[in-house]
Structure 1
């Protein structure tokens, strides 16, 4: 990965102008790669790009030819490079002979406006290429870290097995390797979260760069009616993912990844400044799911957008609602973006119309068509699973919903997330406010009478949440006589508390129980372990004693569909869930619910649903 370039050091302003042009052409290419591509040393390339030395004339042609593949763009930049090169030579000659003053400004030539428009288009495309490089590098880094996390998980399991069977003299060393592997895995998890954030940011930069290219294309078209081949889009090749094998390689690899991500952040900051986008605060990790409503006049985001239900969008007592009145800046930018898209579509002869379905045709919201949108209801009170905060909606269930929509064929711009309170989830899918709910809906006979269920996507087990340092509660029997909170509508958990003679306190949701615990109104909270461990990541003063479990399954989380969903659509969702469980389920669970994995390093796979679970408990099957 290329490091940020230093200050320009040319003897003349023209030398610096040429160095800026050379930096633009070689943007994202490090001196090591340049030394490999051309017969000049790294130190010479540093001087070429800081302006203290001019490159040989023939090298100018070779650089343009290697890094610019589109013929028209290559020729324009070659002409521009030769012009700047000649000006730099003349200014250097004047400096050597003692002449003062800068070179006279070049006379405007016929067609200068068109030429400048094409050069601006080239600049926009170079930024597009750089944004695509950043995105490809971020995707490669995420894949590398996911593989590393999986490999370290496998190593931990094998080392623990060997440690338990080893002789005393070897056990201490194996235990040290287990602890080191577990720590590396924890660090790799944190870096994976950061890499995923960088990937989302790189995607955002790519979109902004593509918008600049579209604006520059419009300028060219409006000025002279350029040929279509002159403004063809560019595609950058993806890098191959690397691999790690030895445990001794892990620490250097993690350090190298940190350095790469630091450099990548600096590069994205520079590109963000060139694109005139606001700076971002990268201190907390959070995937960039846009929170709010899609307002008239705003360009839709290609990522998932949280929408509000009609009955609470404008409610003054809704803490998550946002007004739909005009907004300074954002609304104007949105209207300009829509106007630009319409102008580009009109200029290029594209149609934005769509044919409505035939009269009387039934709409199937789970079938991806050009007109259909998919609205997914998710929870707002389950850290790790699905939580709404100032950064938007995020968690394992949110990730799963986005992936399932993709498997069903929906474009990301056609998918919305709706945050639902616990008491409105079944009603929201029944009355059509959402098309599907992925929000800790438990598989029960009562629920099956209200909706169709597909799943489970997670097995759950009872657990207890206490204040950190509370040693008086280590198992369920210790709950006898104590005030213990459970969320309403959970008969199985109330049953556990009754069996253990606890004093039952209920709240509408788990979030309310956790608030009661932190306010010392109750001594413990009982809920599903996957939900409770999410709160230990959010609050440092809480913990889940691993031994505090009754060993019984609390239930299963499933996807809820409208009762009238057709068998075909139900089966499509079932197959999509199968694909997800067989594929990215494990990596998503490890990333979003890492505290569960750390608590049960050898048995966390027990939370994975089996094929038998899904066939037995779903309202339909493949």
Structure 2
């Protein structure tokens, strides 16, 4: 149990000795005792969806704890850094105990004489084993689908909280404005205009909040269904395993030999969480997958000789409608109440062993709140719900924000816990979470001194960053719900980007970072989000399209230059770029031999425009991305004396957002942000710095 969930007092837990039917059941019970850390069965019954009698049996090894309850125990009572380890260990112990129990039951069954031929028993054995494999694959596939639902709901939860904060802030401003109107009648007209704008913002926030709540309800409904089917698939796996064991024994009794072992099946691939723009499509795919799993389980039942499940009867809850619940009075209402939970109809926990599947889940209180026994009131992950009893109060009104509170309980526990195994919790992900909560800074690496793109016009102590790249980075941060005061822009150069990312000094880089195969060996990219060309900037000559540079003899001259091909006639022309840039690699590939690689474009500009004490200049051209050259040219006092040649150098340069390797979860969030920014919005950000003759291209984010 986490420190903020510990109760102020606790009864002393005294468990009866472990007495399971198998060694595996005893091992599972010992592991469970260590995880519940001495809580009494009363506390466990009030915090989880099982009765005291059931908990007593779980802790003795007399019954096996359901998979969903086991997951809930790990989530609530195990420190976050150890949850992945103990969840995996708990699953292994439960699986071993379940299989051992099936073998025990088969061996303890009356040894009746086989009533069929060896071939018949071999066929039945094959059917049972195949059913076991298919049920196991269904369990695994549904587990991954559940994780995808949980991750999507966690994102919706964060959106809910942001919208609620925005709504509450506007309401407060309106309240303060009403007071100001009374005190300042002469400013009443101006205040009314502001009030109208804030009313519009309030209405928009409430509309978006309602839409988000609707989406949450849809996902919650599918999540409950997925968990029910997961439980049914696990029960099928156990039944098929037991049948396989019985048929194996009968086959051995008839033939005196064991049958060969069957295949273990294949694990399904990962199910990615949906992007916000794909929620509807994801639900369509999820519904189809759930229907497919349901049909597959019907086939397995038929294959191993079990009757098909009957369709559930009773009223179906329609999202957004008021549901009347019948009152159920009872003397034990206090024992069956989770503190702060809304009245929810559902079966008794004591009926769990007789239920064929887990009932639908219902809203639960906010995670982090504690009941009188100290448990956070997180909703159970599947399995039966405990019924809260009390007097009937008529319709349950749907208040604004209720769905968000329920979602916080359902998804909040899993926001940073149930990332798929391929997406571990990284330093950058933790920094993002802390920044979102206003408890830390999210460090974004940006170029310093790139006019029009990224410039600090303030001081190091009080920076004031401006430019197109800065504006784009702020759009990304805003989408990820990072408050402006929790963003820190860290200046860097082209030669330090990879190092700073690897060392964790910055969490992402938005700094004209061209995507290349060479760089992708060191860092990861999200994007691309912008495309430009590599070009060359020269000093203007005397006529149109003429540039001033050295000829082959070293003398200064003026020639027409419209493309890089014109420069190739004199590959010894002194050019300048920066270290570790793609321009440097391309110039060498094109055969240019006099290329200086400096740390900053300012030094290149100085060498291009200022003579080195003799009659010439240090450099005759600066080579980099067109948009960078445009900014340098526009910022130069002598920019009218410079020219950018028309044709580009090599392939187009595509900018991506740089990330440290193995930051899959953060990359997904950034990719989602990139997709959310419309192309015309990106063009508007960069249009002021682009050359009049250039055509902006917004590429598809192929790295996402």
Considering only CA atoms, is the larger Rg found in Structure 1 or Structure 2? 2
> Which one has more relative contact order, counting CA pairs under 8 Å at least 6 apart?
2
TM-score by length of 1: 0.39
